[in-house]
Amino acid sequence: MAYSSQTDVQNAVGGAKKLAQLTDWDNTGTGPNATVIADAIAEADSLIDSYASKRFHVPFSPVPEIIKRMSAKLARIILVKRRNQLTDDEKQEWDQIAGEKGWLYQLATGVVTPGGDPLPPAHGTMAPDVVEDDLPEERDASRDNLAGFW
């Protein structure tokens, strides 16, 4: 199940006419190409999952609103990029979402959450944030405890 729909991407692009311009690669004038849109959404969702899977079970179900919106925004930027029409504002938006310290990075590191009530389930193999050890203090690594190992 895709996180966003063609309608979501159409809204992110700014209407059906703009979406048709971005996806009609053959200049047939038949309107938005659903296959091209679905491929851009799949690419956007894969990118989201690659980050989110560090903390959450993916794919999200139900899809949190922020994930739906990010999917549509990323799909829009992917479509524009495929047409070699990226503006500086779109490059900046891409960096804010998928850049080195962007929203997806923050999602993967736990700085932000995907929202929802309750939160989506955590990834099954994720270690807890804090691990208490119950080792006795004499097992601490210290000069005295490591005497004789040198």
Cα–Cα distance, 12 to 77 (Å, whole number): 9
Query: Is the pLDDT score of 135 beyond 60?
Result: no
At 126, the pLDDT band (50, 70, 90 cuts) reads: low
Q: Find the range with the poorest average confidence among 25-39, 70-84, 92-106, 117-131.
A: 117-131
Region 132-140: mean pLDDT is: 60
pLDDT digits (tens, 9 = 90+) for 64-87: 999 999 999 999 999 999 999 999
Mean pLDDT, rounded, of the chain: 86
Residue 58 pLDDT level (bands cut at 50, 70, 90): very high
Q: What is the pLDDT of residues 16-43, one digit of tens each?
A: 999 999 998 877 778 898 999 999 999 9
How far is 6 from 9, CA to CA, in rounded Å? 5
Verdict on whether the full-model pTM lies above 0.75: yes
95 — pLDDT class (breaks 50, 70, 90): very high
pLDDT of amino acid 103? 96
pLDDT of 134: 60
pLDDT surpasses 90 at 108: yes
Could you give the percent of the chain with pLDDT greater than 70? 83
